[in-house]
Structures are given as structure tokens and as C-alpha cells.
A and B are shown apart, each in its own frame.
Chain A
């Protein structure tokens, strides 16, 4: 079958109706799908990939739980210290020692012991104490979305029992609940990834589009700059620039600084890709056609070039977010970038960045699977998007 010529359309031309077929309703459906606008079509195709949907669900959940409503989903506050320092995880159970099934999950309590070898206090699981878990409990107060004062948490121990505690993933060196910190950490890391990407997009896509559209000297200048920046290896540059950020800055400033830093490192790649896209679209005949009718530059950009590159840019942006999250994690791990008292995944990783922690408190590594899953979610979603945006893959 030759693909050079036109393929069969779904719209018959001429007065003759084609013979009725048993697949009429399916065809109609197909036809209905095809006459959707572009984005509706994209969504329809995106839905067909289970992996893509899974990725999207992960991403949405991560932002929902971590970025927006972290306080609600965490049993404890992010900096809520306690006496239970470096305590083991209290996994929830349904069946107790005697084999009784409890509908309501519970955790075993912690007991302070002295480790004779190491001469330090540790907390071990004490099976004599059982603390059932309740849902929608009142616990430490917070402000939802920073505004609404609340004290309801998704789950926790009996508020009336001052002794009850449930550190599902254990605690860190200051007695803070690891699970809560992971959830809170998601907020900063995920939002940083998004903000960094947004800035990169604004900066990089604009420059790339200008470069591709106008060509000439402007193009040369921008491209040589990106090449120059590209010559430096990414991680050392990140580290060097992050180290420049003064410790004395207040955490919010550090956060902004870091966002700008990420955009600075990543804009070049995006600009080059956008430039390539614009170049390829610019020579397409429909752009020439619009020019032949006297379309203004503005119209060409906004009605023709950008809509036809937008989908690709979105895919590129989506797949760049995980890179940014990773960069933050990487920097945090090294003690650069965000610092305590902020909590991000990078900072959490920093707390595990020594042998002692890994050897004696391995539960501090529990942020890792969460990081991996969220990155995986972005990648699956990005792949699904990439497949869905191609209108000619039929």
C-alpha cells in the first residue's frame, strides 16, 4: 500500500452513498471522535494507554496530597519533634499476637531501651502496647492551604490518649515522623519542579521561538549562548551555583534562588528544542499560505506557530519536570540548595547521607520509593502525552 498519496478519508464525497455496513455505529463513533477538536482527540488517545493514565493518576495524587493538603494527610506536623528519637517504624497491623483480627488497624508502641553496645537510647517495638488507628482524628492544629485553621488529620492515634503515638515510618534524629516529612517534602520538591519548569518554559520557549522565527543574528546569538552553557557539565554547575547561595538568606529567598538556578541550567535545552520545532513549522505550507494572505507576525505566531508547537512543548515540559525534581534532590542530598528548617525530599535525603544513618536507621531511606514513584508517574504521563499528540499516527 503506497503511502505517498492520500489515504482514505472518513468523509465520503459526492452524491453516492456507500453501501451500508454492519459496523455503522462503530464507524459513526470513530467519525465523531475524529471530528473533535485537536485537544479532545488528544485526550481520547491519551485515555487509551493504561500506563499513561496510571502516570497521570500518580502525578495528580502527588500534587493533591503533597503540595496542597500535606497537613491533612500527614499524622504529624512536619517539624513536630518528640521524645521518640530515631524510633523504628510502627507498621500497622490487623492481626495481633494472639491471632485476633481487628477491623481497625493498630500499631505497637515504642519502648525506650538502652543499647549496650552503642551506649545510646533506642526505641524498639513493644508489643504489649497497642494503639488503634482512627481516621479523621483531631491532632496538631494547622492551616489548610495556609488559610483555613483546622486540626483534622486523615488518620492518627486516639486523641484522648496522650501516650498513643503512631510513627508509621519511624522518626528521625529529632523525633519527627518520617511519613509526615515525606508528605510535606513532596510539597516543596514537586512545586519547585513545577515552578522551575514554568520559569524555564517562559524563558526558554520564548527565546527559542524568537530564535527560530527571526533567524539571523538573533538566532546566532541565542544559539551560541546555549551551546556555551551546554558545554559545562550539568551537575557540577548546579552544585557550584547552589553553593553560591548564601546561607544567611531566609529560606524563601533560597527557594526562589533555587528556582531561578534550575531555570538557568535547563533553559538552553528547551530553547533549542523549541527553536527546532518553530523552524520545522515555519516552513510548512500553511504558514506560507497565511503569509501569502498578508497575515501579521502576531497572527502567524499565535494562530499558526504556537498552536502547532504547543503540544510538543507540553510534552517536553512534562518530561523535564522529573529532571528538576531530581536536581533538587541531588543538591539537597549534598547539603546544597534548600536547607533546614525547610523540608524537601532533597533535605530528607541529606539526612541519610551518612553511613551511620543507613546502618542504624535505614527507615530514613523510605523517601526514596516515593521519589521514584513520582518521577515514574511524570515519565509515564509524558510518554502517554507524546504518543497522544501525534495526529498522524493513524
Chain B
């Protein structure tokens, strides 16, 4: 199990000097987001993915000639980074843009704006890893990058081609990259299947013969085929039964340890995300509200949405006593978000400025980022540790 990676202290200074030279766009890394108002913690050498100002807008078209009348701002200026071997959780409710964000980074959707830096050695003359702007790659180059970034999908039924055998499915990435011929391929597939806990004899079978949990394992095997360093897990356990969820999460953690993988783990279930992630970014209607270390987040949230979200999650303990913070109204509409801070209509701490100005994304504490006008002054409540986990035996009420 990889150690909890410490934030390097040198990250106080927005200085490009700590990065390897010869980096495309290195200068922009130091200027920070939003006009460089506050010092941004420069990610250390350990960072393999650095997303800055990512936007993905979908045009809304009307009428016979499909005139563009507006945009769904599915992802609206988000920035985050992922370190080698760690898991970054991306959590939020429906419409928050987490799935769109991960698909945009891997360029399944073309981002509307922003920079995506990925550390790779594929393009440097001496094989040394450098940060490359993924958005500027052409199709051929992008294909090389796809060897290092892969994705696991949510739907165990829809993510596997029903007409292909398990062998074909898992071998497809190899085939696409020219490694798909010969007996080595079969060996590789066997290894992959065994690693995810499936029996190799099942190679010749078809997806419909497997259960949901097994299908997800096939998807995981496929994602591992090219030996990536970063895997986007897009709601990989949401469609699975509770007991299978546990098995699958354990598998993902084991694989991470074995192969030193980094994950971007996208989900709507806060408990799952916090369990598996080192760091968590909470998204709301296309923006990141808060990003911090997992434990830090639930002990000391800085954003009212995080506080309310954690309060809303039902706790598996009948003795958990806590007054729930109820967010009134519905989740905001990404095609027509409220002015200023998107969360302000539902926020119990909202003041005038919240409906006028978009809050800035800033690093308030070490490695703890938040976008809220009142973040400094608010004293927000974290999740109380569940009584049962404290090992206390309660006075059981008589029946």
C-alpha cells in the first residue's frame, strides 16, 4: 500500500524552477489560476496530471438550422492535480460534471478550454518524463498517451461489446497499439484475467454469461492491458451490489499497490470516495467547491456544500445523532446556473457578495483548496466519528 504522500513544503512558492526543464508551457504553470492572485502550491515532482482551467461547454441548439442559443456548462473552469500512485476522488451529485471532466481530460470529448499537463516520457528524446500539454497533441501522439491513461466505465452491461469474446475485449487495447499478435498476447490476457480474479478458461466466453461484478473485472483487466500509470474510474461500483462493491474496491486497491497506479475515482457516493481516495475534490454544477486530503475534508470542511453534503449522507449507525443540514431546493441547472456562486441559493451562510461574484479558487491551508467567499470565517462541521467505530458500546435501549 503506497504511503500517504506528503505535500512537499517547497510548494509554497509558485516557481517553475522545481519542474524539469524543456516543458511546454512551463511558464504558465507559475502564473496560477485566475490571474495569479494568490500563490499556488506548485505540485511537486510527483505530480503526473495537472489540470488547469478545464472547461467543457455543450452548445444548446434550437430550431431547424440548429442555432446555438446557450451552453450547458458541464465543466466550468476546474483545476486539480494527481500525484503518482495516489487516488484523487471526484465526487458530486448529478450534473456536477465529474464524468464529463474525466472524459474531457482523456479527450473523449474535446475540452472547450484549459490545459491538461500529463507527465510522460514518450515524446522526449532521452525518455525522461516531462509535462506535456495533452490538448496540443495530434491524433498520433494522443494515441501514445492513451497507453498511459485508461478508463474504467460505470455500466457493466454497456461497457463491453456484446459481440466480442472476453479475450477480444481485453486484448483490444493491445491490438490497437500493434501488440496484439502472437502467443504473447494470449499470455498477457491470461495474466490480466488472473490478476483481476477471473479464470483464464473464461476467455472464450461472451460478456452476457458473466455477472455484473465479473464484467467490471473484465473492464478493469482491459484498462490494465497497456500498463497505464493513470486510470480514470468512472463510477466503477455504482451499479454493483453492496457485497460486490467491497470486492471490487479491494481489487482496485490491490492493483494500485501492485502496479503503482494513480486513480481519478469519480463517484457520487461520498462514503466510497472517501474510503478509496487520498484526496477528494467535491464538485458542484461544473465547478470544484473544495479539494483536500480525504481525512482533512471530512474533519474540517471549508465549503458549505461539503458540509451539507456530508451531513446529508445517511450514516450506517442508528445512534448517530446529529442535526442534519438540509439544503433547500434542487441541484442547480448547469445550463442556467445562478449568478455569482452557484451554490448560493441553497447555502445557509450566503451573503450579498455570494450572489454577485464567483468565488476564487484558492489554497487556504496546505493542500486544501476551496472556492468560497466566506471560507476563512466560517466554522463548519465535519462528520462526527461514528460511535460504533470509537469502540464504545452504547446503552442499548430495552425492547
Spell out A's residues near B (CB within 8 Å): 4-11, 13, 31, 34-35, 37-38, 220, 284-286, 288-296, 299, 303-304, 307-308, 391-392
Contact = CB atoms under 8 A, between A and B. Distances in A.
B209 A5 contact: no
A292 B219 CA distance: 13
A220 B66 contact: yes
A35 B210 CA distance: 11
Contacts of B381: none
Contacts of A308: 161-163
Contact of B158 (A5, A286, A290): A286
Contacts of A34: 205-206, 208-209
Given A38-B162, A307-B163, A391-B162, A11 B241 contact: no
B214 A294 contact: no
A6 B143 contact: no
Contact of B209 (A35, A289, A291, A303): A35
Counting from the closest, the 10 A-B pairs by CB-CB distance are A6-B212, A294-B143, A285-B159, A9-B211, A294-B146, A285-B153, A293-B173, A286-B161, A285-B158, A307-B163
B51 interface: no
Nearest to B161: A286
B161 A9 contact: no
B176 A295 contact: yes
Contacts of A13: 197-198, 211, 213-214
A108 to B, nearest CB: 60
Contacts of A35: 204-206, 209
A304 B154 CA distance: 19
A272 B385 CA distance: 58
Contacts of B165: 37
Contacts of A38: 162-163, 206
A22 B134 CA distance: 59
A299 B176 contact: yes
A304 B239 CA distance: 23
B153 A289 contact: yes
A224 B207 CA distance: 38
B199 to A, nearest CB: 8
Contact of A288 (B103, B197, B202, B204): B103
Contacts of B162: 38, 308, 391
A5 B242 CA distance: 10
Contacts of B241: 5-6
Nearest to B160: A286
Given A5-B241, A285-B158, A293 B209 contact: no
Nearest to A310: B163
B378 interface: no
A308 B204 CA distance: 19
Contacts of B198: 13
B142 interface: yes
Interface in B101-130: 103, 106, 108
B176 A5 contact: no
B325 to A, nearest CB: 30
18 contacts: A6-B156, A6-B239, A6-B241, A9-B209, A9-B211, A11-B210, A11-B214, A13-B213, A31-B209, A34-B209, A35-B204, A35-B206, A285-B158, A286-B159, A294-B147, A303-B164, A304-B161, A392-B208
